[in-house]
């Protein structure tokens, strides 16, 4: 059963996935450098070297910084499988609602694949659900939306 807003659950699972991936021993530093077209042997500026030195690490290159990052991350623990989604009032942080749920890797990856299939042009957009029809009032595409033309719910 899905508790809490699906988008918020997906966001929290995304944070968990990113955290756990960042601290894993399999962090693909080579892919990172290649994807962003970065040179790991790039010499750091004196200002950056001074700052890094002030936090207890000496680095000469961007690759040195990545090594420090990987070493530091390996000392951190993975996040828990049980996640908590909290809704708090901003003015006083009083609890409005709280949902606990387990990380579901299969559901998470399915949601990401579904979103990517849209962004990569492999599927058509989907309309909001009946409960979320109120969003149509704020959508910049509402004037040209075929769903709105065929229904009076939005």
The answer to whether residue 152 sits within a structural domain is no
The answer to whether residue 98 sits within a structural domain is yes
Distances (CA, A) of 96 to 15, 45, 78, 123, 145: 22, 48, 28, 37, 35
Distances (CA, A) of 26 to 39, 73, 102: 20, 11, 24
At residue 150, does pLDDT exceed 90? no
Look at the chain and report how many structural domains it folds into: 1
| pTM of the complete model | 0.69
**How confident is the model over 133-153, as a mean pLDDT?**
78
The answer to whether residue 134 sits within a structural domain is no
The answer to whether residue 113 sits within a structural domain is yes
Label residue 149 by pLDDT band (50, 70, 90): low
At residue 154, does pLDDT exceed 60? no
Q: Answer yes or no: are the C-beta atoms of 54 and 47 closer than 8 Å.
A: no
The answer to whether residue 18 sits within a structural domain is yes
Label residue 147 by pLDDT band (50, 70, 90): confident
Output the average pLDDT for the chain.
89
Q: Which tens digits make up the pLDDT trace of 110-129?
A: 999 999 999 999 998 888 88
Q: Which tens digits make up the pLDDT trace of 47-88?
A: 999 999 999 989 999 999 999 888 888 889 999 999 999 999
Enclosing domain of residue 77: 6-123
Q: Which residue has the higher pLDDT, 152 or 5?
A: 5
Q: Degrees (nearest 5) of the Cα angle 130, 135, 139?
A: 130
The answer to whether residue 117 sits within a structural domain is yes
At residue 9, does pLDDT exceed 90? yes
The answer to whether residue 148 sits within a structural domain is no
The answer to whether residue 95 sits within a structural domain is yes
Q: Which residue has the higher pLDDT, 103 or 24?
A: 103
- State the sign of the Cα–Cα–Cα–Cα dihedral 7, 10, 12, 18: negative
């Amino acid at each position: 059963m899905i508790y809490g807003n699906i988008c918020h659950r997906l966001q929290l699972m995304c944070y968990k996935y990113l955290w756990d991936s960042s601290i894993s021993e399999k962090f693909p530093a080579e892919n990172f450098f290649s994807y962003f077209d970065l040179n790991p042997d790039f010499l750091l500026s004196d200002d950056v070297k001074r700052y890094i030195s002030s936090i207890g690490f000496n680095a000469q290159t961007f690759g040195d910084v990545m090594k420090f990052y990987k070493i530091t991350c390996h000392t951190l623990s993975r996040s828990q499988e049980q996640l908590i989604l909290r809704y708090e009032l901003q003015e006083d942080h009083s609890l409005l609602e709280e949902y606990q749920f387990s990380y579901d890797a299969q559901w998470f990856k399915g949601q990401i694949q579904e979103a990517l299939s849209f962004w990569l042009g492999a599927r058509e957009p989907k309309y909001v659900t009946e409960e979320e029809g109120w969003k149509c009032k704020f959508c910049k595409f509402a004037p040209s939306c075929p769903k709105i033309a065929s229904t009076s719910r939005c």
